[in-house]
Amino acid sequence: MSLSYRIRQFRSAVRARITPAEYDLVRHLLTPAEQRLFHQMPRYDQRHCLDVYYTLVAAGEQDVFLLRAALYHDCGKVDDHGRPMALGWYVLATILKRWPALYLIAARLIAPIALYAGHAARGAQMAAAAGCPPEIVETIRHYHDPNPRGRAARLQWADEQN
């Protein structure tokens, strides 16, 4: 991802807004436990997840498990105390990913970077603990894999568009 893309992404995060109609959409599509996963994320992650959902819908996606997973696929960026990953740490993590060796070192030494690095697996654990269907849990678990398949591949594609 280019630096200009990351700057646009940061601006979008700072300006993130969610309409009442979008909150109604979340309420309509997600179970109460899934809604909690969505609502515990900061607004910028909620906005991102909604944008991923809309990207999938625009592409003709109708798989309900995938569309639900899209709405909270980044829930693993919230720590054990319910604190979301701060936007500044997110920016640093995405910049460090340009240098994989440095990123891996940072992920071992810096807690917020570790949270970011493991957020897919962590999100899958959170989804499983919330009683989400296995199809959603596995989609979230694998969407950051190097070569995901099935729903996870489609989620990765939409995530990369946003």
User: What residues contact 106, with CB distance under 8 A and at least 6 apart?
Assistant: 92, 93, 96, 113
Question: Would you give per-residue pLDDT tens digits along the chain (162 residues)?
Answer: 555 655 666 666 667 789 999 999 999 999 999 999 999 999 999 999 999 999 999 999 999 999 999 999 999 999 989 999 888 898 899 889 989 999 999 999 999 999 999 999 999 999 999 999 999 999 999 999 999 999 999 999 999 998
> Which pLDDT value is given to residue 10?
62
Distance CA 33, CA 124 (A): 13
* Model pTM score: 0.89
> Which pLDDT value is given to residue 24?
98
Distance CA 151, CA 70 (A): 10
Long-range contacts, 135-138 (Cβ 8 Å, 24+): 135/65, 136/65, 136/68, 136/69
> Which pLDDT value is given to residue 49?
97
